[in-house]
A = this chain, B = another copy of it.
Amino acid sequence: MLTREELDAAKSRAAVVLAETGIVLTSAEIDAIEVADFGLSRLDEIGLEIVVYVNTERVCAKELVLFPRQTCPEHRHPPFASSPGKEETFRCRRGVVYLYTEGEPAMNPACRPPEPDGDAFTVWHEIELRPGEQHTVPPNTLHWFQAGEEGAIVSEFSTTSTDELDVFTDSRIGRTTVVRDA
């Protein structure tokens, strides 16, 4: 849950970072910036600010803004209907983002999971992405990511986004942000 003030502050902060990076949005897009706290009410640690450019029945493109050390929690995009699940390419535009997926775990990972949620972060194959670098996560593959000390902007190119189907490792997580009016 977020208060209206927290929501508006996060939207403004994301809009400023995007503008500083030279990414131009319409005012309707700025108004529509999605602030996801994943139902945990700890936005600074676990959260994501999202601009959805397009999401058709076939293709989706977004910008993701991560504040310093902000974490998108571990999840996967399972198969549904005739789809094998969502395929995502993450391309770093600003800052550094550490992407963790299934595979050989990093010996000394650059990130720690937000306390006290260590059990909800189970994959530790580390991919460090700096501006111009990208990685494609196949469908139905566990992944999570965290920005470095200066935050990050990440472009996401994917198949259709169906957030409500995402499966999070932390069963307390709800994908819909609830806003409490003071």
Contacts and interface: CB of A to CB of B under 8 A. Distances in A.
Interface of A: 21-26, 29, 53-54, 56, 58-61, 87, 89, 91, 93, 131-134, 136, 155, 157-159
B24 A157 contact: no
A131 B27 CA distance: 12
A159 B25 contact: no
Given A29-B132, A53-B157, A61-B155, 17 more contacts: A21-B22, A24-B93, A24-B131, A26-B133, A53-B91, A53-B134, A54-B89, A54-B91, A54-B136, A54-B157, A56-B136, A58-B87, A58-B159, A59-B87, A59-B89, A60-B157, A61-B61
In the complex this chain forms, how many copies of it are found? 2
Contacts of A91: 53-54, 61
A77 B158 CA distance: 20
A179 B159 CA distance: 35
A58 B29 CA distance: 26
B24 A132 contact: yes
Contacts of A60: 157
Contacts of A159: 58-59
A60 B89 CA distance: 10
A117 B134 CA distance: 40
Contacts of A136: 54, 56
Most buried by B among A21, A58, A59, A134: A59
14 contacts: A21-B22, A24-B93, A26-B132, A53-B89, A53-B91, A54-B89, A54-B91, A56-B136, A58-B159, A59-B157, A59-B158, A59-B159, A61-B155, A61-B157
Nearest to A89: B54
